[in-house]
Chain A
């Protein structure tokens, strides 16, 4: 059980590193930037 609990965090970490890299490769970084540099009227409460 102890061995298992030590491996799980790293398995989870690797899975999310892979998702992160896939996200970067399919250009989601630009999508985030495009939204973040515009004033979000919804956030302000007038959108």
Chain B
């Protein structure tokens, strides 16, 4: 089953992104060469167990040090990270959100807590592009100190993954850091708590409204090698795809929408009528189910 396979891959990706198990002994983060490689999902590089670099943290650092770099004749604008994300995006679009992002995985697990569930206003899904533009690029590059250095705004004021994966564990590992706790930390804890609560009631609230990494990948959904395909002639608008979608996407309103994370749940488990399939490099793969909508049986 695709669902079981995805859970296994999500678990493996979470473990591989956080495979440095020596941190209880070293009381520090991993500092090996693997840290120069970005993880495809959102995973804080200051998590004591993190083995790779956070692409968002890396991008912000490039823009926060843009001016001093230029003064030293060094033009680093994050092409390595942009290229890395672009390669993944142009191959599979937003698929990493569904299959390898540890924070997305966490949101899906928490959403399973039984409760009344809510939908978010559609307009909020564009919030992630505001966070991408403002907090990842513009503010780190523009708001600078006397020496020209900016701040990683998203990490500092928003990212709940950093608080959860790095803040709490590092404060537990290094008691000396606790003396530095101030309003900023409480602000970040409040953001984390807010999202942890929202995750119970709303499908992947952070991914849909805030995540700049998802925003970057989403730009590739329509032009990636892997693409979802909708067959309107077979679709009966039963909304089963919407009910099962972990992102609350109404697939029948258009394949490859910005919030489609290609988890393939609709394809494998929801659609009974073969209205959903996918293509790789223009080669269309057949629908799993090809059952046509049955007409009502005539009354005897």
B118-150 contacts to A, CB under 8 A, are none
**Contact flag A13-B58 (CB < 8 Å), given A40-B166, A42-B152, A44-B166:** no
B46 — which chain A residues lie within 8 A by C-beta? Answer: 39-40, 43-44
In the complex, the answer to whether A42 meets B62 with C-beta atoms within 8 Å is no
When distances are taken between beta carbons in the complex, the residues of chain A under 8 Å from B184 are 45-47
A15 to B86 CA separation, bound complex (whole angstroms): 8
Contact B36 A36 (CB under 8 A): yes
Nearest A-chain residue to B55, judged by Cβ: A32
Stretch of B73-81, B107-115, B235-243 contacting A (4+ beta carbons < 8 Å): B73-81
- The docked-state distance in angstroms from the alpha carbon of A26 to that of B31 is 22
Which of A2, A5, A32 has the most chain B CB atoms closer than 10 A to its own CB? A32
CB pair B223 A45 closer than 8 Å: no
CB-CB nearest in chain A for B30: A37
Instruction: With A35-B58, A44-B46 as known contacts, state yes or no: A28 contacts B79, CB within 8 Å.
Output: yes
Chain A binding surface SS class: helix
Residue pair A28, B62 in contact (C-beta under 8 Å): yes
Residue pair A40, B152 in contact (C-beta under 8 Å): yes
> Using Cβ atoms and an 8 Å threshold, which residues of chain A touch B45?
35-36, 40, 43
Q: Are A20 and B84 in contact (CB under 8 A)?
A: yes
With A6-B282, A19-B79 in contact, is A44–B171 under 8 Å at CB? Answer: yes
A31 touches B156 (CB 8 A): no
A residues in contact with B31, CB < 8 Å = 37
Evaluate whether A47 and B76 lie within 8 angstroms (CB atoms) in the complex, with A9-B224, A23-B82 already known.
no
Q: What class of interface size applies to chain B in its complex with A?
A: 35 or more
Give the distance in Å from the alpha carbon of A10 to the alpha carbon of B224 in the complex.
Answer: 8
B87 adjacent to A45 (CB under 8 Å): no
Interface string of B34-55 (1 = CB under 8 A from A): 0110100000111000001110
Contact status A26-B90, CB under 8 Å: no
Q: Does B210 contact A (CB under 8 A)?
A: no
CB within 8 Å for A9 and B83 given contacts A35-B61, A43-B44: no
Determine which residue in A5, A19, A45 has the highest number of CB atoms from chain B within 10 A of its CB, and name it. A45
A9 contact from B76, B79, B189, B225, Cβ within 8 A: B225
Q: Across the interface, which residues of B come within 8 angstroms of A46, CB to CB? A: 167, 177, 180-182, 184-185
Query: A13 near B167 (CB under 8 angstroms)?
Result: no
Q: Which residues of B contact A36 (CB under 8 A)?
A: 35-36, 45, 52-54, 57-58
Q: Chain A residues in contact with chain B, CB under 8 A? A: 2, 5-6, 8-10, 12-13, 15-24, 26-33, 35-37, 39-47
Known: A20-B79, A37-B29. 6 other contacts (CB 8 A): A10-B281, A13-B86, A23-B83, A28-B81, A32-B53, A44-B170
Q: B residues within 8 Å of A by Cβ?
A: 28-31, 33, 35-36, 38, 44-46, 52-54, 57-58, 61-62, 75-76, 78-87, 89-91, 151-152, 155-156, 159, 162-163, 166-167, 170-171, 177, 180-182, 184-185, 187-189, 220, 223-225, 281-282
